[in-house]
Homo-oligomer: A and B are copies of this chain.
Amino acid sequence: MDIDVEEIRNHFPIFERFRRDGIVYLDNAATTQKPREVVDAITSFYYNSNSNVHRGVYRIGEEATELYNHSRENIASFIGARSEEIVFVRNATEALNIAANNLPDVVGRDSEVIISRMEHHSNIVPWHLASTRYGIRVKMMENLPDRQITWEDIEKNLTKKTRIVSLSQCSNILGTINDLSAIGKRLHELGIIFVVDAAQSVPHMPVDVKKLNCDLLAFSGHKMLGPSGIGCLYGTSEILENMPPYMGGGEMIREVYENGFTTADVPEKFEAGTPNIEGAIGLSAAVDFLKRIGMDNVRSHEKELIKYTLEKEEEYALESLHSYGPRNPDIRAGIYTFQMKKGDSGKPYGNYVHPHDISHLADRIRGVEIRSGHHCAMPQTVALGTYATARASFYIYNGKEDVDTFFDALKAIEKKMIA
């Protein structure tokens, strides 16, 4: 591994508590911990330059605006974009809502959009809402739980009316890393708009929006060491300029009259009201932190970890353990979703351990903190034949010893709960 996990942990003050209380945090697909550098950037803003942005011509107003603008530039360049292609939003969910709500008027309301079954609710429900509001048709294509999405999967669902395809670059439940650049290229040849949910990819691997051939792309700050309440919608200038505004209010206008208004230029057109200024500054500091490590190293570290996890799974060979997702670490993120189940009788006890109990017990027994539930991906979960699973997910501060503790916990849980 190219990453010195112990060195990295020293940047995260919460590890003091983790060490004290014996906690192994493995819910990084839900949210990540924050390094001191990020918190310090936010605190320093509060204690030195805090003021509103865009309009203040006095000193601290100009300073705040400069910090905010610099943050946008820094985050943009991190994914190969230009500053004016980045809209600050609350989270990936809001970014996808802007896409789904505003594209129908760009592509026409009788259009069809294709999404996959492995999508997070945030890349499903906004399209359903747009369908209700504007009449566009949403098609959910099937995908296999142990394979990437292929061009053939998409092709089966293409019609003349298909004008939008929206896919996640990495599944938050299967860990599948989809190979999207080739798909993007073909979609563009067909004049189809390509939206990418990058909530699980931008934090974990090098992402270049130009190489991806996407038109819009969404991600969240809190999943990449940054604060919550901040995320980005990347969009090509062409798309952003063609889309109508989403919310109205301060900052996003040029002029307002009694009966109407004109909009500001992009990206401000999509940023109504006072933005999350310290959120942007914190996310920029997170980007700096990740750049110092190098996204290639982040990816290879997590690949090592998932490889090790799959090896341990075979080594332990727990009777009740079933996991999902591709077995090839090359196309698999650091996400391990599983169930503990032996048979199927009427009553719950002895045959399976409910994921909530797995999560609760893993924490109580070995301090291993993992998620349980549908992980906001009900269609995929149901397609796996269940309503809930448990999930462990890794980040830069996790090491192989965390994987060991995790399997140790599963073994103890099986012993306690499976007849």
Any B CB within 8 A of the CB of A205: no
Q: Which chain B residues lie closer than 8 Å to A14 at the CB level?
A: 46-48, 50
Closest Cβ of chain B: how far from A47's Cβ, in Å? 4
B220 and A274 form a contact (CB under 8 A): yes
Q: Which chain B residues lie closer than 8 Å to A222 at the CB level?
A: 52, 274
Which of the segments A147-155, A250-258, A298-306 contacts the partner chain? A250-258
A228 and B277 form a contact (CB under 8 A): yes
Could you say which of B30, B125, B369 contacts A253, with CB atoms under 8 Å apart? B125
The CA of A59 and the CA of B173, in the complex, are separated in Å by: 22
Looking at A230, A272, A275, the one whose CB has the most chain B CB atoms below 10 A away is A272
The CA of A278 and the CA of B221, in the complex, are separated in Å by: 13
Looking at A92, A251, A258, the one whose CB has the most chain B CB atoms below 10 A away is A258
Q: Which chain B residues lie closer than 8 Å to A47 at the CB level?
A: 13-14, 16-17, 39
Which of the segments A116-124, A182-190, A235-243, A319-327 contacts the partner chain? A116-124
Any B CB within 8 A of the CB of A307: no
Any B CB within 8 A of the CB of A60: yes
Copies of this protein chain in the complex? 2
The CA of A39 and the CA of B376, in the complex, are separated in Å by: 31
B31 and A51 form a contact (CB under 8 A): yes
A257 and B379 form a contact (CB under 8 A): yes
B90 and A229 form a contact (CB under 8 A): yes
B274 and A91 form a contact (CB under 8 A): yes
In this complex, the interface size class of chain A, counting residues with CB under 8 Å from chain B, is: 35 or more
B46 and A274 form a contact (CB under 8 A): no
Interface 0/1 of A118-151, CB less than 8 Å to B: 0011101111110000000010100000000000
* A1-43 contacts to B (CB < 8 Å): 13-14, 16-17, 21, 23, 25, 27, 30-31, 33-34, 39, 42-43
Which of the segments A73-81, A206-214, A356-364 contacts the partner chain? A356-364
Q: Name the residue on B nearest A363 (C-beta).
A: B58
B257 and A378 form a contact (CB under 8 A): yes
B369 and A250 form a contact (CB under 8 A): no
Known A-B contacts A97-B248, A126-B247, A276-B90; the reply to A59 vs B369 at CB < 8 A is yes
Q: Name the residue on B nearest A172 (C-beta).
A: B250
B372 and A272 form a contact (CB under 8 A): no
Known A-B contacts A51-B31, A276-B276; the reply to A247 vs B379 at CB < 8 A is no
The CA of A94 and the CA of B140, in the complex, are separated in Å by: 30
Interface 0/1 of A293-321, CB less than 8 Å to B: 00000000000000000000000000000
Q: Which chain B residues lie closer than 8 Å to A350 at the CB level?
A: none
Known A-B contacts A128-B260, A247-B97, A249-B96; the reply to A276 vs B228 at CB < 8 A is yes
Q: Which residues of A contact B (CB under 8 A)?
A: 13-14, 16-17, 21, 23, 25, 27, 30-31, 33-34, 39, 42-43, 46-48, 50-52, 55-61, 90-94, 96-97, 100, 117, 120-122, 124-129, 138, 140, 220, 222, 227-230, 245, 247-253, 255-261, 272-279, 356, 359-360, 362-363, 369-373, 376, 378-379
Q: Can you list 23 pairs linking A and B with CB atoms under 8 Å apart? A: A13-B46, A30-B52, A31-B274, A33-B50, A42-B42, A55-B372, A56-B359, A56-B369, A58-B359, A59-B363, A90-B90, A90-B229, A125-B261, A127-B248, A128-B248, A138-B259, A227-B278, A228-B274, A229-B275, A251-B376, A256-B378, A257-B378, A279-B279
User: What 4 A-B pairs are tightest by C-beta distance, nearest first?
Assistant: A93-B273, A229-B276, A125-B248, A122-B249
